[in-house]
Structure 1
Amino acid sequence: MAREAPTYSRPTREYLLAVHEFVDLHPPTPQYPRDRPRLQVLCNALEVNDWDYLIIHQIYCLLEDAPEQLPPQILQHPGVGNAQDLLNHVLDSNALLSPELRLFFINMPHPMSVYTSLWPLVLQQHCDVFIQFAAQATNINNLHSMCRQRNFPPFAGELFHDVGIGSFTLQKLLFTAAFRHIMKLGHTPRAQHLEERALDIFRQNYMAFANSVKARPGDPYEPAARAQEHGRWSARFLQMCKHRAVPNPPSSQQQQGHIGSQRNQPVQPPTVLVPNYNALYNSRPQAPIDNAQHFGAQSINAAPPSQQGPHATDRPRLPMSVSHDPGRALDMRKPGSPLLPAAPFRLPQQRQPVPARFALHQAHLRSPTLKARQEETILYQYVDAFAVKPTRLVALGGRIAEWKVSISDEQMRSIPTNLFNNIAGAPSARVISQDSQLFRLRCITWNKSQPPSEHEWATAPTSWCPSAYFTFNNQPLEMRKKIHYGKSLPVDLTPMIKPGENVLKIGIVRPSGDESYQTYLLAIEIVTTARHDTIVNKCVEENCLSAPQVKEAIIQRLSGSSLDDEEIAIIQNNLTIGLLDPFSASKMCDIPARGRACLHNECFDLETFLKTRDRHGDCSVTDKWRCPICTADARPQHLVVDAFLQSVYAELDRDGLKGVREIVVNQDGEWVPKAVPREDSVQDHSTAAEDRNSSVGPARTEASRLPSADIDIIDIIDISD
């Protein structure tokens, strides 16, 4: 199912599950006493579908902790400082919150990267909401002064029109702060009772204001409407606080005269602005029409409802209508049934995972299509080095670790950038060339005490620690896991790389006593790009094993001198080596090659091996470098050419024995062909083999008569016992 766009028609209560899950994993602690109140405010906003609060709160948290993720239009707005100061006063600084909660807040309801890739128009609408608020945030000082003079807090219409706040949650917080400042009742039961009654009056005021806007959507907040609201609600407030003298609200004529006199005087900031009503509402996101509830079934390529012009209503968005008690506190405890299944429950793996169906929620994580800078260039990608070597997650049980990777300007020139597709939902493209470098994060399970070799790391499957969370340069990372893709996939860090210092933050969230995270190794890999001819030339010229080297290795293997100390060793008198290319199984290799990690002497044809690598666009897939014979690591930098087999091929070709499929190498390094007779040419091959055996001496003749290799079992007694 496609991920639904976060428009005003989408119920915010859907995000309560994420809050419950976070609270289960990170219960508030005495070390961070501000965590619980901030979570409670967020839950209250989610309960009443307060999208304005979610938008303003997320952007505020990003301004505090990750401003680099915000669009320039917010960072460069002249009023953003006033808006940040106001929210800091109302919500408290994020520095008082736990690191886990701060990370959670900057991604609620969705990470900025998701908005950028999937819903750019929705992101623009959210920016408009915050900018409208930032443009009028400075007026709060003037409004507070007015409230102190008249001895009653601001009302819904004033907060909406003068300060640009449509969020019920933020309005209630500002009303409460002003009430406490004006009344100065202290922390007594009577003060609490009066505050509850005042909030009840404010809720009724907000509901009446919202209903009046719905009934008369085009009416501006003129002085007469302002005086009417003051007269109605200040009287109720005065009746509640009889011990406080509340002045009579000014008449309509008085207010008109007062405002008229202000127009004839120079404007001195800050002033209470009366914004254009229609402009204020038209800058807010529009609600989709009735078919919005079917959006979840639409294709991921379809534009979000808020981006579909013909399907959007022209009716301006009204202030939130509170259909139930919006001040009701949300019980953050677990409901009667557990939110999560009891350990050690594991979600069953799909028999045949279909990412195109089950991984649509991570469509924005699709790998970009690789394009060669020069056409008709055959390119290959493979892991060539480490920016951070494989490291065990041992000391991360109770803290957030940081890995720092420095990138020079020269390295930055070799890192390609992504080119975003204009077609909605289409993957981005990445232009690469010889020596292009990519960076990625990978994790494996490793239960052995010794660290893995380079070959073992390369062939180990990716496996993500379920209790680990990562951010790279303050951008949260999403894992593509086996449950959705059939296998876990590495995380591409390339688009987030910047010159200078890059920081990976690692956090482990685990139940007490769970040490399973220590079985995982994590590394940052460097992926290199090379041309076809570059790989072939390097293998032939630099990574070529001479015939004497190969023969000496075979002699040591057959003699047992290369074995480690073991209780029992199996020694062979000879070694059979296949000569045919495993891809065709019908001809010898033109360039016999194998991996350094291979334990066999059989080879595959280098050209055929390279041309059969799986491709993604104009380049090979990074992790498809396994030996076709033994599945060991066979990345280009570890491929070697076997000159011994090349000499064998040349000699067999000279003697007219191209039909030979195997040879037998004796303990002295001499070899004889092991012909496989065919029905129509048994005599020819036998005669040719006998002629060849007679020319190489009695050692080969005797070996050729052996139907199979003899095996001696030698007991090795450890004298230390």
Structure 2
Amino acid sequence: GNPTPPLTPASSMPPYISPNADVKPHFNELKPPMGMQNDELRLTFPVRDGIILPPFRLEHNLAVSNHVFQLKPTVHSTLIWRSDLELQLKCFHHEDRQMNTNWPASVQVSVNATPLVIDRGENKTSHKPLYLKEVCQPGRNTIQITVSACCCSHLFVLQLVHRPSVRSVLQGLLRKRLLTADHCIAKIKMNFNQSPGNGNNGSNPSDRDSVEQTALKVSLKCPITFKKITLPARGHECKHIQCFDLESYLQLNCERGSWRCPVCNKPAQLEGLEVDQYMWGILNTLNNSDVDEVTIDSGANWKAAKSPANPGIKQEEDSNDNSVGKRGKAVSPGSMNMPTMNNWEMNQALSPYLPPDMNTIASGSMISQYNQSSQNRNPASNNQNYDFGMNNGPGSNEYAGNGPLSHLNESVNSLDPLNAMEKSLNEQMPHTPHTP
């Protein structure tokens, strides 16, 4: 069949033009004030209403096809100024409802006569999308796709995406999703009130005695990296006390994220993650020791579990709490200083950006916001903070930042993105947090 006509913010144009119109752009001097940090790990989210070319197939037996799209000057300027915005071209199998990037072996792509290298990963199993903003220009742009074999089983889509760095997302979560120590302690006590087997701490229930539990061992090591946790987190629906390291979890979900808790395997979407202030306090207290496991009782009192390895080595005592070195003594919640956002050493300045949408990008307002906020920012930083907003809702008083992420519910992959586009290509593309 014929490919779907492109839907662009500026105009609708035929999908193909003659190859001789494929010319190199004349780039203007508009460049971001800071250099790109291409080595940063980034998460990727489709921008609301940001589809430039809706999913299209290549015409059968057409070896070379040209696909034209328009970029308004304001959109192009915003893309260049914002290091966390990109123009993403991806190819995926038409039956893949998750729309994971998959490039047929024979596909080659050039944009405005600039050939692009497709990264198919090691062993050709981890394909990456193409990011085009560096080779685009304001106005008319041409994508040329060359194939030597039929690719009718695949679809192509061009869309604006928001690519916040892992560090900025982590900072936003820490500001808005720090679960206060009181609520963390209540969660621990609730865990003990549940029957054994239901309230297990991520361990096999069959390993536990049928008698009522009086204490639980909790590892201070992340189940992802097996290194000591820095920022302890879990999903909102998780019932266990055990945490994982927040930064490691975000890194794990950078590419084809499943967004599932590594402890209990329940869904743990970005907007449902929470940082456990109480466990963070325990980790801070034990910062200078080699303790990697603690025992927590039903009153939320904790003590360092005895380390079987090298028991003769004397522990370095914490200057704030000399009882830590005495492994037998329990520490009560009231005797601890709880860490806050100020305890987190941030190398980057924060920024007030909300996740972008197409209207604010097209209006050019992001550039003026950037100029206004840059007066208060570290000029050496281009790492925008991923702001989750301040929506107050049920249970918002549980968090130090007063903000459950209710407005990000669309990012949960409960919607079938491909099915939604089949219903109406004019509708916005649902957010899919796992989209690379």
User: Do the two structures share a fold, i.e. TM-score over 0.5?
Assistant: no
Higher RCO (CA 8 Å, separation ≥ 6 residues): 2
How high is the TM-score relative to the length of structure 2? 0.42
Higher helix share: 1
How high is the TM-score relative to the length of structure 1? 0.28
